[in-house]
Amino acid sequence: MPNMTAVARINAISGAVPGTDVDANYRTWAQDRLADPREARLFGRMAERSGIDHRWSVLGEEASLESGRFYTRDAQPTTAERMKIYAREAPLLALEAIGKLPDADGITHLVVASCTGFMAPGVDQVIARALGLRGDVERIAIGFMGCYAGATALRTAGHIVRSDPGARVLVVAIELPSLHLQADSGLESMLAMAQFSDGGAAAIVSGEGSGLALGEGLSATLEESDTLITWTVGDTGFAMNLSGEVPGRLAEALGSPALAQRILGGGDAADIEAWAVHPGGKSILDAVERAFALPQGALAESREVLRTCGNMSSATILFVLQRMMERRPETG
């Protein structure tokens, strides 16, 4: 008989990245495109201090930025061309991540998050068919929420388990930002694109077994912040705008005692053993660290994921949690 007081737990997490590392290639290409020597030098310095060593792309050889490749031919790839690749590659990378889970049997619900592509049948349907899931498995697609969709997907799985203690939820976050490189020569745009990387992650959430417990969710909206991060669908892919003001606004918000106490649940930051923070960039992690006066190394998992994988949008937080599960913290 199902446990009617089940605690939703992440029983297992796995991640996968493509085989082509594009970071060094992109840095050279971006720096060469900046006509102002001062901006080019600034880009180089900021890239070196980014905390990122590797970023990955599903484009394979076409990820090269040599003349005549996918992004360096006469005409920029259309959105249709980019979506064709998304439809082919997103399910494959998602299934690779799922395949690394120790046990993906008995799935009752499937939650899929992605904001870097659209297709129909959806990624959730393709995954369900490829896995041979039963026709009565409930599917939820979380689209176009960006980086925080990974947390939203896990929170959704937690809600499902709390309402149906017998549920076994497969959570998938799959993002291919490398499909949306733009021929924009602006410094801020180049720095924004230097953060992102392709990746997919999968997790099992249920009310049984061991693993990281999912507590109550918390949402907070920063007023007048809607222009700081935008993701615009155009004729040549999705254009990202990521303002340099984001870390400062985040630090300012976390400096509010009311919000800080909501996050800490009325406790003290020093009493929390583990911090899983989305590594949207080194400056984001620095802002969180300063806001809560965290000791050196408190965000080690987040920084290591940023270093080895870059910002994989919604999938990134699952990579952080995967590393965290290895040490099984008591609080987080």
Q: Which residues are catalytic?
A: 147
- The beta-strand segments (E) located in the chain are 9-16, 20-21, 56-57, 109-114, 138-143, 168-175, 199-206, 212-213, 229-234, 237-242
Per DSSP, 313 falls in state G
Q: Phi/psi of residue 122, each to 5°?
A: -70, 165
- Quick check: 176 and 116 in contact, CB under 8 A? yes
- What are residue 172's DSSP bridge partners? 112, 202
- What separation in angstroms does the CA of 81 have from each of 20, 84, 180, 267, 290? 20, 5, 11, 50, 43
- What are residue 12's DSSP bridge partners? 204
- What separation in angstroms does the CA of 221 have from each of 158, 226, 259, 260, 311? 21, 10, 11, 14, 21
Within 10 angstroms of residue 236's Cβ, the number of other Cβ atoms is: 17
User: Going by DSSP bridges, is the β-strand pair 109-114/20-21 parallel, antiparallel, or unpaired?
Assistant: unpaired
Of 103, 124, 107, 215, whose CA–CA distance to 164 is shortest? 107
Within 10 angstroms of residue 3's Cβ, the number of other Cβ atoms is: 10
* Dmax (CA) of the chain: 69
